[in-house]
Amino acid sequence: MKLEEEVIRRQRERSRIFGWLLGAFVVLLFFITIAKTGINW
Amino acid sequence: MPALELTNPAAMPADWRDLLALTKPRVMSLVVFSGLCGLLVAPVMPPLVLGFTAILCIALGAGACGALNQWYEADIDARMRRTANRPLPAGRMDPQSALHFGVGLGFFSVLLMGLATNWLAAALLAVSILFYVLVYTVWLKPRTAQNIVIGGAAGAFPPLIGWVAATGHMAALPLILFAIIFLWTPPHFWALSLFVRSDYAAAGIPMLPVVAGVPNTRRHIFLYSLPMAVAAVTPWPLGLAGSIYGACAAVLSFVFVVLAARVLANRAAEPAQMAPEKKLFAYSVFYLFALFAVLVADRWLAA
């Protein structure tokens, strides 16, 4: 594998993972807010 | 275009597997487990999402400790067989990326803990991270053979943090759990350091077997296992745990002390002949998992 391809592969892989983590964090923050404010569904 | 093997891998973006390796996932599992037990034995059960977040923050804090430890000790890790293949000594990652990752993870874990649970739990998490990085890694580890005795306090924080995250205050039981891990750490690490002492000697780390010799270390292991066993049983007579825990803690601790006595009786100086030390090291991991699991089971059965 060439250097440029490897750099792009790593960047894409990291971007995908950090994207998922960010999404999970937003969902977590939403549920934390719900739990802290004591709202019952 | 140059081939990959001809380039410097550390100059490239870090692979996510290397970022994960920086957090020492295997060490993290015991930290997360003890933190979870601290949370589960608390008299108040927080909402599920807040309990999950507290454990997540403990895990992230432990990951930050691992990353900062590996950043600071990259040169030492390179001299030890056991650690030479870690991302930094192996040259797969830029040290600055590891530093930013560790600091970022630490700040994030403390902030999220404070927002999700309470600021006392967040403060304890911050203290445990700073204690591990500054007091243990930077100050004690390269200077004194007692590094693991005082530094062990950093690993003893998780059950305390888990309890405080659930209740918002400290109490006797989590402080005893703190004491158990604090007293368990030296025999656990010294058993390991006996059969990898050539690594520590090569790296110039003054671990007890390197500085005080093998027989002295074996004596220390046995001596520390005695107060550890007492601390492990203590919640029972104090009425903080039931008889199931008391009986299991007594049996588990008795086996620990017997294995420590076998280490004391061993005269071998070569790692290949250190079967009692290897057995004690493996058992010590099982011991802590079993002890905390029994405590949780005991408290839940009583409830």
pLDDT, tens only, A1-40: 678 888 888 889 889 999 999 999 999 999 999 998 876 5
Whether the per-residue pLDDT at B6 is higher than 70: the answer is: no
Tell me if B49 and A28 make a contact (CB, 8 A cut-off): yes
Q: Are A28 and B50 inside 8 Å of each other by CB?
A: no
- At B127-178, the pLDDT tens digits run 999 999 999 999 998 899 888 888 889 999 999 999 999 999 999 999 999 9
Residues of B engaging A, defined by a Cβ cutoff of 8 Å:
1-4, 7, 12-16, 47, 49-50, 53, 56, 115-116
Question: Considering only CB atoms, which chain A residues are within 8 Å of B116?
Answer: 32, 36
Q: Cβ of A32 and B116 within 8 Å? A: yes
Question: Which residues on B lie below 8 Å from A35 (Cβ)?
Answer: 47, 49-50
CB-based contact B272:B169 (threshold 8 Å): no
Chain A residue at shortest CA distance from B17: A14
Cβ(B286)–Cβ(B276) under 8 Å?
A: no
Mean pLDDT (whole number) for B30-37:
94
> What number is the average pLDDT over the span B275-283?
96
Calculate how close chain A gets to B228, using CA atoms only, in Å.
38
**Nearest C-alpha of chain A: how many angstroms from B48?**
9
Separation in Å, CA of B98 to nearest CA in chain A = 15
Q: Is A33 on the interface with B (CB under 8 A)?
A: no
**What pLDDT does residue A14 have?**
86
Contacts of A28 in chain B (CB under 8 A): 49, 53, 56
CB-CB neighbors (< 8 A) of B109 in chain A: none
Answer yes or no: do A6 and B1 touch at CB < 8 A.
no
What are the residue ranges spanned by the domains of chain B? 15-168, 171-303
The complex's ipTM? 0.81
Count other C-beta atoms under 10 Å from residue B267's C-beta: 8
The stretch B291-299 carries a mean pLDDT of: 96
Chain B nearest-CA distance from A23, in A, is: 15
CB within 8 Å: A32 and B7: no
CATH number of B15-168: 1.10.357.140
Residues of A in contact with B15 (CB under 8 A): 10, 13
- Coil, strand, or helix at residue A2? strand
Nearest CB among B3, B12, B56 relative to A10 is that of: B12
What ranges in chain B are assigned the alpha helix state H? 16-22, 25-40, 48-72, 74-78, 95-116, 119-130, 147-167, 172-195, 197-203, 208-212, 214-233, 243-265, 275-302
Nearest to B242 by CA among B172, B288, B295, B289: B295
| Listed residue (B168, B70, B151, B66) closest to B109, CA to CA | B66
Query: pLDDT higher for B287 or B94?
Result: B287
Kindly state the tokens that stand for B163: 């309890």
The chain A residue lying nearest B11, using CA atoms, is: A7
The torsion region of residue B47 among left (phi > 0), alpha (psi -120 to 50) and beta comes to: beta
Q: pTM for this structure? A: 0.89
For residues B88-113, average pLDDT: 94
| Cα dihedral B82, B87, B91, B94 sign | negative
Whether B12 shows a pLDDT value over 80: the answer reads no
